[in-house]
Amino acid sequence: MKINSEQCLRELYGQPKQKAVQKQLSQLEKHSINFLKLSPFAVISTYDLEGKVDSSPRGGEPGFARVISNTEIAIADARGNNRLDSLCNILQSGQIGCLFMIPGIDETLRINGTAYLSVDPEDLGHSSGDKNPPKSVIKIAITEVFLHCAKSMMRSKLWHAQSLQQRDVLPSMGTMIADQTGAAVPTETQQQMVSRFKDQL
């Protein structure tokens, strides 16, 4: 049976608790600002005008998402593979969702808002000391911000030492992509790839 209405969904799950509704804010405050200052990693979600959705990891030193004000943050677009899926989606829809994480902390921070790309020298200047400075900065006007409970991280035991896998449980990235695409090109070892990436960080 397929659920096709919110009424059916609510009959199955019930209503959210009052605290879950009230925790949604329209701007940053001291706890969410502190969370951003400690976070080195986020997943951003975007979509284009056809509804094609994309989720992409972003990371850097803790505080890589710069707090501009209580209603605006900026994420420098660090060097990547030039697919530009997220950036093209932002150009089309101007919408973004972010999930920020702190290693060892089971709670996460969700920020939703409108976004645009900036090449303003002032925005780019905050990363001028980077070895590979960004070419653009994602500026986000916050519409929703709230802390997300720890249940999913507790279930996954994501930060537990016993959850860590040795890299060799999977083939190298180059091998997997070659197998997936059938490309008949020389593949890097994992060590070669990591060494190359270190120069691009």
Residue 139 buriedness (CB in 10 A; 0-12 / 13-18 / 19+): buried
Q: What is the mean pLDDT of residues 128-143?
A: 90
- Whose CA is closest to 103, among 189, 149, 148, 42? 42
What is the CATH number for 48? 2.30.110.10
67 vs 140: CA distance, rounded Å: 10
pLDDT score, position 52:
97
**Do both 170 and 132 map to the same domain?**
no
pLDDT score, position 130:
78
Domain limits at 101? 22-155
**Do both 188 and 131 map to the same domain?**
no
pLDDT score, position 167:
94
* Residues 63-72: tens digit of each pLDDT: 999 999 999 9
Torsions phi, psi for 27 (to 5 deg)? -155, 165
**Do both 175 and 124 map to the same domain?**
no
- Give a yes or no: residue 86 inside a domain: yes
pLDDT score, position 127:
84
Query: What percent of the chain clears pLDDT 70, i.e. is strictly above it?
Result: 99
pLDDT score, position 132:
85
59 band by pLDDT with thresholds 50, 70 and 90: very high
| Cβ count within 10 A of residue 72 | 15
**Do both 149 and 176 map to the same domain?**
no
**Do both 96 and 169 map to the same domain?**
no
**Do both 150 and 62 map to the same domain?**
yes
* Residues 149-179: tens digit of each pLDDT: 999 999 999 999 999 999 999 999 889 988 9
Is the confidence at residue 185, as pLDDT, over 80? no
196 band by pLDDT with thresholds 50, 70 and 90: confident
Which residues are bridge partners to 188 per DSSP?
Answer: none
Is the confidence at residue 118, as pLDDT, over 90? yes
pLDDT score, position 200:
81
Four-CA torsion 157, 161, 166, 170, nearest 10 degrees? 10
- C-alpha distances (whole Å) from 6 to each of 9, 11, 156 are 5, 8, 28
- Give a yes or no: residue 11 inside a domain: no
Is the confidence at residue 60, as pLDDT, over 80? yes
